[in-house]
């Protein structure tokens, strides 16, 4: 239905200006942007006091379907994403089956077509079953609709294979999204190796696991003039390496997850396996380094690595529970509290980190609010404060340490292709 978003403040990243204007959405497109628009027979959305932003884009989520529907489905994940203000997400291929063939990709595409209420873009696996031994047919997957290549959840230990996957992805113009984890330093660990692993008497993962692989792949990018994208960066050393690489012209981009700039490993004492994630929660010094990286542009984007798991799985002890935090509904408030409210970034940078830059990475055109543009928008209230309750979460994954915590910032409406897919009081239409 056609609609007018009335009285909102548009966050315009093209001009870095806040613009008080109405937006008229007609035939699913942005038809007009003007100070005052009145039209009969259209739905009017009152956006007074709220920001209107380009819909958020998450380059890295796990929606678990096909195969692990008890953790999340395309339907539940996309509803949760819409609630988080997201209009587009890229889904990682570590499903069952892994998205490593056109047959599996077509299966996923069918589910997306049937059930997704936002844009859900498939990422294809780099190697068969994400085992790291045999490359998938990346070109064929690309022709059938993948937006990136990743063995997320698993590293590609073989440097030659990584090089080949990177060259092919680069030639096709899609990102290679790297899960950096040198298995030789994981040591069956379940949390960051350090004071908390010592205190709890559990095996830690050395930070070398992440650092070594990032060093390897920066080297690869440098040596062969290739582009690489590093997923979920979590250590201060990695930030430093990426900063230096960018400084010397290496084509490397990276993302950080909200939990890695907002919570330290200490939370595991209280929340146990809920705080188990890969890469692990680290230290205050790592958080500070990530924040510096966000400030100076070393960090290109925020991606949630939304990794829902069942309650039963997360009730297991630290060694047995699976890695992952559910995060897609909380990225906006967590970024609001930890970055925007502290003056570390401004609202334009927030929208760049959460929308414009991931959009670029995925090669999307819809990167702003402009006349004739795609009507993918979120209307947000950054002042609203509340305590997060489990029943507030739409995702099947309730595995977030933020339950019971005070948050600030809410999504009022999410609009995809000119249709309201989330409003605070209702859900998908």
Active site residues: 305
Interaction partner, residue 122 (Zn ion, ligand DOR, none; CB < 5-8 Å by kind): none
Interaction partner, residue 277 (ligand DOR, Zn ion, none; CB < 5-8 Å by kind): ligand DOR
Interaction partner, residue 278 (Zn ion, ligand DOR, none; CB < 5-8 Å by kind): ligand DOR
Bond before 66 cis per omega within 30 degrees? yes
Work out how close the CB of 247 gets to ligand DOR at its nearest, in angstroms, rounded to a whole number: 28
Helix residue ranges, H only, 185-254? 195-200, 208-224, 236-247
Angle at 271 between CA 267 and CA 277, to 5 degrees: 75
The percent helix, strand, coil of the chain (3-state, each to 5) is 35, 25, 45
- In the complex with ligand DOR, the residue whose CB is nearer, 22 or 100, is 100
Stretch of 33-41, 118-126, 262-270, 299-307 contacting Zn ion, by CB under 5 A: 299-307
String marking each residue 146-185 x if it binds Zn ion according to CB under 5 A? ------x---------------------------------
- In the complex with Zn ion, the residue whose CB is nearer, 100 or 376, is 100
CB 287: neighbour CB atoms within 10 A? 20
φ, ψ of residue 151 in degrees (nearest 5): -105, 40
Q: Does 65 bind Zn ion (CB under 5 A)?
A: no
Interaction partner, residue 77 (Zn ion, ligand DOR, none; CB < 5-8 Å by kind): none
- In the complex with Zn ion, the residue whose CB is nearer, 300 or 305, is 305
Work out how close the CB of 413 gets to Zn ion at its nearest, in angstroms, rounded to a whole number: 28
Work out how close the CB of 308 gets to Zn ion at its nearest, in angstroms, rounded to a whole number: 11
Work out how close the CB of 259 gets to Zn ion at its nearest, in angstroms, rounded to a whole number: 12
Work out how close the CB of 157 gets to ligand DOR at its nearest, in angstroms, rounded to a whole number: 15
Interaction partner, residue 323 (ligand DOR, Zn ion, none; CB < 5-8 Å by kind): ligand DOR
C-beta of residue 364 within 8 angstroms of C-beta of residue 5:
no
Interacting residue ranges for ligand DOR, rule: CB under 6 A: 62, 94, 152-153, 179, 277-278, 305, 307, 322-324
Work out how close the CB of 412 gets to ligand DOR at its nearest, in angstroms, rounded to a whole number: 30
- In the complex with ligand DOR, the residue whose CB is nearer, 72 or 300, is 72
- In the complex with Zn ion, the residue whose CB is nearer, 152 or 286, is 152
Work out how close the CB of 233 gets to ligand DOR at its nearest, in angstroms, rounded to a whole number: 12
387: left (phi over 0), alpha (psi -120 to 50) or beta: beta
Report the distance separating Cα 35 and Cα 32, nearest Å: 10
- In the complex with ligand DOR, the residue whose CB is nearer, 179 or 367, is 179
Q: Does 305 bind Zn ion (CB under 5 A)?
A: yes
Report the distance separating Cα 114 and Cα 75, nearest Å: 9
Number of residues that bind Zn ion (CB under 5 A): 2
CA 120 to chain centre: 12
C-beta of residue 209 within 8 angstroms of C-beta of residue 185:
yes
Interaction partner, residue 243 (ligand DOR, Zn ion, none; CB < 5-8 Å by kind): none
Helix residue ranges, H only, 173-303? 195-200, 208-224, 236-247, 258-262, 267-271, 284-296
Tokens of 86: 């997201």
3-state SS, one letter per residue, for 319-388: CCCCCCCCCCCCHHHHHHHHHHCCCCCCHHHHHHHHHHHHHHHCCCCCCCCCCCCECCEEEEEEEEEEEC
- In the complex with Zn ion, the residue whose CB is nearer, 13 or 274, is 274
- Interaction site with Zn ion (CB under 5 A): 152, 305
């Amino acid at each position: 239905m056609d609609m007018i978003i009335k009285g909102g403040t548009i966050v315009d990243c093209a001009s870095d200006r806040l613009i008080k204007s109405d937006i008229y959405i007609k035939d699913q497109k942005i038809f007009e942007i003007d100070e005052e628009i009145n039209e009969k027979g259209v739905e009017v959305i009152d956006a007074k006091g709220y920001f209107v932003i380009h819909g958020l884009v998450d380059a890295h989520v796990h929606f678990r379907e096909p195969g692990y529907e008890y953790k999340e489905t395309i339907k539940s994940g996309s509803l949760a994403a819409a609630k988080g203000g997201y209009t587009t997400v890229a889904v990682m291929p570590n499903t069952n089956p892994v998205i490593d063939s056109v047959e599996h990709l077509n299966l996923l595409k069918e589910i997306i077509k049937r059930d997704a209420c936002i844009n859900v873009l498939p990422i294809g696996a780099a190697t068969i079953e994400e085992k790291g031994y045999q490359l998938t047919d990346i070109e064929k997957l690309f022709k059938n609709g993948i937006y990136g290549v990743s063995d997320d959840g698993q590293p590609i230990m073989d440097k030659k294979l990584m090089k080949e996957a990177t060259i092919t992805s680069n030639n096709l113009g899609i990102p290679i999204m790297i899960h950096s984890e040198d298995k030789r330093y994981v040591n069956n660990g379940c949390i960051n190796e350090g004071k908390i692993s010592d205190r709890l008497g559990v095996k830690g993962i050395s930070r070398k696991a992440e650092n070594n692989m990032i060093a390897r792949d920066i080297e690869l990018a440098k040596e062969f003039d290739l582009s690489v994208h590093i997923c979920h960066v979590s250590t201060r050393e990695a930030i430093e390496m990426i900063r230096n690489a960018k400084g010397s012209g290496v084509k490397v981009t990276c993302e950080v997850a909200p939990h890695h700039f907002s919570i330290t490993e200490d939370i595991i004492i209280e929340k146990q396996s809920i705080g188990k994630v890969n890469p692990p929660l680290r230290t205050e010094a790592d958080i500070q380094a990530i924040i510096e990286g966000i400030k100076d542009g070393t960090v290109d984007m925020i991606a949630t690595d939304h990794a829902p798991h069942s309650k039963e799985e997360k009730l297991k002890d630290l060694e047995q529970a699976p890695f992952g935090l559910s995060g897609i509904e909380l990225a906006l408030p967590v970024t609001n509290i930890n970055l925007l409210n502290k003056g570390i970034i401004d609202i334009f940078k927030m929208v760049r980190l959460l929308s414009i830059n991931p959009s670029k990475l995925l090669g999307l055109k819809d990167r702003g609010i402009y006349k004739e543009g795609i009507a993918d928008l979120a209307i947000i209230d950054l002042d609203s404060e509340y305590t997060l309750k489990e029943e507030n979460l739409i995702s099947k994954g309730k595995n977030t340490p933020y339950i019971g915590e005070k948050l600030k910032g809410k999504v009022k409406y999410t609009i995809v292709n000119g249709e309201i897919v989330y409003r605070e009081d209702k859900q998908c239409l």
